[in-house]
Structure 1
Amino acid sequence: MTTTPYQLIGGEAAIRSLVDRFYFYMDMLPQTRGIRDMHADLAGAKEKLFKFLSGWLGGPNLFIEEYGHPMLRMRHIKFAIGPDERDQWMLCMDKALAEVNMDASFRRELRNALQQLATHMINQEQESLVQIDEPH
């Protein structure tokens, strides 16, 4: 029998803990204010992320059962998400992942998969940091 990521992370309790810690950091860290401001209702967001991760990791497909296919980019298109927002999201996730007891190699694999998922959500170009001076 194949072990799923859902089982490797510790099932429902571990995913709830991960999601709780993730939103704790989003709510508390000043450097994540950009993504925090996108969330009017943290309780609803917590429940949706928990349900999504449950199915995404190979456990019960709670999100699909309630909301249908995740279609993550479409659901997030109304938010301006660039590399900065992705990095803020990953900062919260990295801190939360560090607090959930799991095998270190699995944590790295999970983090990489979540990084790819977060990068997929980018729908805005990053503004150029280089300004070109106009000729005088």
Structure 2
Amino acid sequence: MSDAISLYEAIGGAATMDKLIPAFYERVGSHPALTPIFPEDLTEVARKQYMFMTQFLGGPPLYSEERGHPRLRRRHLPFEITPERKDAWLECMKAAMDEADIEEPHFSFMLERLTMTAHHMMNTP
């Protein structure tokens, strides 16, 4: 058995998610590039993001247990995700990661994975 821990555990697990997700959606909810594609009430979106991010970072498979396979690109097709919105999303997430005190080398690794995912999500020039 490996002694390796997941990124989720390395950054502090649920305690960090409890800081990261609210910090992220506080920014999303006021970002002019993002508000057009998000609902006014971000409660349910934040709950789903919490489950997804937990699973994405190697924690418990909360998202899949409730909602099935993430199918991120497919689930996001109804929303125009432009390069500007991709950058805005990453800007909000990076600031939230700072606020949640995610330290190096985990910060850079996590941001790299999220950046690759964000690029994959773009569906509008």
| Offset at residue 13 of structure 1 (A) | 1.5
| Offset at residue 12 of structure 1 (A) | 0.7
User: Which amino acid letter does the alignment assign opposite residue 13 of structure 1?
Assistant: A
Question: Where in structure 1 do 4 or more consecutive aligned residues deviate above 2 Å?
Answer: none
- In the aligned structure 2, how far is the partner of 1:69 from the partner of 1:115? 20
Number of the residue aligned with 2:67: 67
- In the aligned structure 2, how far is the partner of 1:121 from the partner of 1:16? 25
User: 5+ residue gaps in structure 1?
Assistant: 126-136
User: 5+ residue gaps in structure 2?
Assistant: none
| Offset at residue 39 of structure 1 (A) | 1.4
Q: How many residues align?
A: 122
| SS across alignment from 1:6 | helix
Q: Whose radius of gyration is greater, 1 or 2? A: 1
Kept in 2, the 8 Å contact 1:8–1:102? The answer is: no
User: Which amino acid letter does the alignment assign opposite residue 97 of structure 1?
Assistant: M
Calculate percent identity across the aligned residue pairs. 33
The one-character-per-residue Cα deviations of 1:102-123 (angstroms, maximum 9, x if unpaired) are 3321101111111111111000
| Offset at residue 33 of structure 1 (A) | 1.7
Number of the residue aligned with 1:84: 84
| Offset at residue 26 of structure 1 (A) | 1.3
The reply on whether 1:7 has 2:6 as its aligned counterpart is no
Higher relative contact order (CA 8 A, sep 6+): 2
Number of the residue aligned with 1:33: 32
RMSD: 1.0
- In the aligned structure 2, how far is the partner of 1:85 from the partner of 1:69? 24
| SS across alignment from 2:27 | helix
Number of the residue aligned with 1:100: 100
TM-score by length of 2: 0.93
